[in-house]
Structure 1
Amino acid sequence: MVLLAAATAFSACKVTERSGTKNYIYVQKKGRENKQWKLVWQDDFNEKSLDTSKWTRIPPGGSAWDAHMSSNDACYRLDNGLLYLRGIINPDTSVDKRPYLTGGIWTKGKFAFQYGRIEIRAKLECAGGAWPAMWMLAEQNKYGKYPRNGEIDIMEHLNRDSIIYQTTHSYYTLDLKQTEHPPHFGTAKLNPLEFNTFGISWYPDKIVFQLNGKDTFTYPRVTGVDPSQWPYDQPFYILIDQQLGGSWVGKINPADLPVQMIVDWVKVYQ
């Protein structure tokens, strides 16, 4: 096991440059984009509790996606190598007056990467108002306030849909309304009640979205347009969360709760 760990560390050093506090930012070395991927970071959720060296429970916020985020233990469970992120009816509104609570984790301040491939194997449960998401935000403030640093949505699922959405957001798409030059999102069909592998392959000139190892949608870097079209030249951190409600997904049906996203593993290659 010691030799295996040493070999893994050595191979990681060959493909990535690490920086930041405790070397948590992984930047793929130049020229690696056309070579074979090597595993540089992963979590199989095999421990009895969440690995806090890698993840933090997402705190509540003022946006639709994090309006119900909570650190309440009822929203989290680790069992037999699976992480359960739950959307529930709040069991005690005397402490927290919000009617619903949701679980989510992020690697902010603990792991971020620039270029490479991420894959997340998970199963999505369905419910009215359910909005499970896997996505990425910039770790460093290179270009200014959101949305100037961009957003990469590996997967978003709504209600009981048989499709997922895979999207990029930026100042270029949101403020300049350049959503078709190039198209900034795609959809892919799936059975949400089965385990699926969601991912992207991220290059200096394109982001290739994937489902179960197959390419589904590509967002390219375009020349001759506003530079805000490509803020994806910096490290991003990972978010995985079981969201509820909001104007896009619609009203929450309490009769459908609890609802869960069940995560098997997360792997990052460079």
Structure 2
Amino acid sequence: MKKIVFYDHFDVGTKPNQTYWNIDVGGSGFGNNEDQFYTDRLDNIYIEDSLLHIVARKEDFEHRKYTSAKITTKNKVSIQYGAIEVRMKLPKGLGTWPAFWLLGDNIHKVGWPTCGEIDLMEYVGKEPDALHFSLHSKNFNHTKSNNLHLKKEIKNLSDDFHVYKLEWSKEGFNYYLDNELLFKAPKEDKQGLDNWPFDEPFFMIINLAIGGNWGGKIDDSIFPVEFLIDYVKVTS
């Protein structure tokens, strides 16, 4: 029987549990020329009906024209191997860029991309029928256009909730959508931190970006738009 090592079903309080989650605040563009400013306001992030709501809005805020939210488990919850399962409903519309992803705990020491990045789920509104999974390391990342990036065409992906699951072991990754195996990403002969940083602890991130290099052109008529998370569960 698998052991549950982390489980948040977002049914307590009005904001994410501070024991697990940090709410990031800022609007630096985050290396991707993103257009949103992340806030910690209830206008942008709240819990209701046992769901985490991340809401992007069209509004002038600080130096940005959109607001949204981002949470992380940095310095609070770390994961190394196991199965990460998340039930989510993605937002619709041009310019939306929701993601559930992980970064290496050692990012403050070695920086990105040496720390490693696991993109468990990325989605952009301009490709409404496409699910993306990718891995990044120092020697294999999107800036070099040589990293593992797997794309699956799934019709009407944002119409309903789906369960996204990543099995992570010393041998690599298996990726499931609604319990159907979609991708395998084996470690094979990759050795060393620069090639395969995925034998170290990572922290989780959930955010809804707007626009930017990949989110692209924004349709202002879609706002406000919601990214809904039912639960996050990690088993070992």
TM-score of the pair, normalised by structure 1: 0.78
Unaligned runs of 5+ in 1: 1-35
In the TM superposition, what whole-angstrom CA distance separates every residue of 1:129-173 from its partner, at most 9, and x where no partner exists? Answer: 000100000112497221011100000111151121011111121
Given the superposition, is the C-alpha separation of residues 256 and 222 from structure 1 closer, same or farther in structure 2, using an over 3 Å criterion?
A: same
Match of 2:161 in 1: 195
In the TM superposition, what whole-angstrom CA distance separates every residue of 1:202-251 from its partner, at most 9, and x where no partner exists? Answer: 00120112211222112221326675221001111111111111111212
Answering whether residue 215 of structure 2 is matched by residue 249 of structure 1, we say yes
Q: Matched residue of 1:99: which SS? A: strand
In the TM superposition, what whole-angstrom CA distance separates every residue of 1:173-196 from its partner, at most 9, and x where no partner exists? Answer: 1289472xxx61212325211100
Unaligned runs of 5+ in 2: none
Answering whether residue 99 of structure 2 is matched by residue 104 of structure 1, we say no
Query: Structure 1 residues 237-246 or 185-194, which shifts more?
Result: 185-194
TM-score of the pair, normalised by structure 2: 0.89
Q: Distance in 2 between matches of 1:210 and 1:261?
A: 20
Match of 1:174 among 138, 141, 152: 141
Match of 2:87 in 1: 121
Answering whether residue 9 of structure 2 is matched by residue 39 of structure 1, we say no
Q: CA deviation at 1:252?
A: 1.5
Match of 1:184 in 2: 148
Answering whether residue 231 of structure 2 is matched by residue 265 of structure 1, we say yes
In the TM superposition, what whole-angstrom CA distance separates every residue of 1:57-103 from its partner, at most 9, and x where no partner exists? Answer: 1222341358522222210121110111011112x54xx23110111
Query: Structure 1 residues 129-138 or 244-253, which shifts more?
Result: 244-253
Q: Distance in 2 between matches of 1:117 and 1:264?
A: 17
**Equivalent pair of 1:172/1:178 in contact (CA under 8 Å):** no
Answering whether residue 78 of structure 2 is matched by residue 78 of structure 1, we say no
Q: Matched residue of 1:247: which SS? A: helix
Match of 2:114 among 124, 136, 148: 148
Partner amino acid, structure 2, of 1:217: F
Q: Distance in 1 between matches of 2:220 and 2:93?
A: 9
Q: Distance in 2 between matches of 1:56 and 1:155?
A: 20
Answering whether residue 56 of structure 2 is matched by residue 87 of structure 1, we say yes
Partner amino acid, structure 1, of 2:51: L
Q: Matched residue of 2:111: which SS? A: coil
Given the superposition, is the C-alpha separation of residues 223 and 143 from structure 1 closer, same or farther in structure 2, using an over 3 Å criterion?
A: farther
Q: Distance in 1 between matches of 2:93 and 2:8?
A: 27
Answering whether residue 197 of structure 2 is matched by residue 231 of structure 1, we say yes
Please tell me the root mean square deviation across aligned C-alpha atoms, in Å: 2.2
Q: Distance in 2 between matches of 1:235 and 1:241?
A: 20
Match of 2:131 in 1: 164
Partner amino acid, structure 1, of 2:213: S
Query: Structure 1 residues 195-204 or 209-218, which shifts more?
Result: 209-218
Query: Sequence identity of aligned pairs in percent?
Result: 28
Q: Matched residue of 2:139: which SS? A: helix
Richer in helix (by share): 1
Number of residue pairs matched by the alignment:
229
